[in-house]
Structure formats: C-alpha cells, structure tokens
Amino acid sequence: MSTIQIAIEFLGTFAFAISGIRWAAAKNFDWFGGYVVGLATAIGGGTIRDVMLGVTPFWMTNSIYLICTAAALLTVIVFKKVIVRFTNTWFLFDTLGLALFTVAGMQKTLYEGFPFWVAIIMGCITGAAGGVIRDVLINEVPLIFRKEIYAMACILGGVAYYVCQAVGLNVEITVVVSFSVVVIVRLMAVRLHISLPHLHDDNGTD
C-alpha cells in the first residue's frame, strides 16, 4: 500500500506540475513564476489534506516532490514547441493529476483510520484544491466553480473506490477502477459539454 501510494503521489505531482506550468507559460510567467505555480498546483491539495488529517504534509518529509516539479519545468522548457502544438496537453495532464491525486488522497485518509465518507472528501480536496490554487495564482476564476465536471469526477471516483473495496477487490484493481472512473467522467463531460446547472442572481443573469 505504501509503495503504491508513493508511486501515485509522484506521478500525480509530475502531472499536476506540468498542468500548472503550462498555464503559467500561457500567462507569460518567468521560469521562477512557472515553478511556483507548478509546485502550488502539485502539492496544494495534498497539503490541505494532510493539515486536515493532522499529519505532516507529504512534501515536507521528502524533497522528491520539489525535484519532480523542477523536472516538470525542465520538460516544459525543453519540449515547449511540442507541448504547444498539442492544445489539449494541459487538459490531459490536469485530468491525470486529478485522478491520481484523488486516489492518493483516499488511500492516505483510509490509512490514517478515517471512515470512507471522509476519505471521499479528502480525495476530492487532494485532487481539486491544487487546481483552485493554480487558478487563483494566475488570476483566473477557479475552473472547479465555473464549468465542466471537475470535483464531481473526484467524488464519483471515490465512490467507485468504496464499491470496489466493499466487494472485496484487491488494492491494485481498486486503484485502476477508481482512476479510470475519474478520467472517463472528466473526459466524457468535456467531450459532451456536460456541466452542473449554474446559479442565477435576482436579475436572472449568470
């Protein structure tokens, strides 16, 4: 379980860092600014999760997450033309990071002895909060609040994790199923333009 969790958090860190750095590049941030946005995107949700669980934030016990973000920055710098050529690259990495961190958040919460409903919430926070911090840093209204199925994909992935565990599936299969649910739900929601209803003010405008 520990090895799987570490691998998931490492991959999620790289994926989310790529996503954050890509957005920073679109805003013409310098390299340091890109690193800060990438790091905040990668560790933001997990940090909030760990603080709420009462444990030391994961990146404070292992510098690999800071190094991983630096590797993501280098990747964007070196392969900039290739990445720019694929306009949906940021979306792909954001979706992968969302799914990976949702699973990591659930696993860590369950390992700490919390019930499944708490694990689902923590999985959602781990997956989505980094994107919120990213959007705030680049002066955008957080994606989670304005369009697409984002946090709901995390919740559905968490429910899938619970169902798999309830029927006795092993950890490896559970992780694959939960990860796949988050990715598929998000991809289908964007492809089919599915989103939650919007709130309206008293004047009937969005």
pLDDT tens digits, one per residue of 37-84: 999 998 999 999 999 999 999 889 888 889 999 999 998 888 877 766
| pLDDT of 143 | 73
| pLDDT of 194 | 77
pLDDT band at 92 (very low <50, low <70, confident <90, very high): confident
What whole-number distance in Å separates Cα of residue 198 and Cα of residue 206?
A: 7
**Which of 84-98, 101-115, 133-147 has the lowest average pLDDT?**
84-98
Give the whole-number percent of the chain exceeding pLDDT 90. Answer: 40
Name 18's Cβ contacts closer than 8 Å, sequence gap at least 6. Answer: 38, 72, 75, 76, 89, 90, 93, 97
Mean pLDDT, all residues of the chain: 85
Residue 204: pLDDT over 70: no
pTM to 2 decimals?
0.82
| pLDDT of 1 | 47
Q: How far is CA 188 from the centre of its chain?
A: 17
Q: What share of the chain is helix, strand, coil (3-state, %, to 5)?
A: 75, 0, 25
Name 139's Cβ contacts closer than 8 Å, sequence gap at least 6. Answer: 27
What average pLDDT does this structure show over 105-129? 92
What whole-number distance in Å separates Cα of residue 33 and Cα of residue 22?
A: 11
State how far the alpha carbon of 164 is from the alpha carbons of 7, 159, 170, 175, 176, in Å: 20, 9, 8, 9, 10
3-state SS, residue 167: coil
pLDDT tens digits, one per residue of 144-176: 776 667 788 999 999 999 999 999 899 889 989
Output 39 or 87, whichever has higher pLDDT. Answer: 39
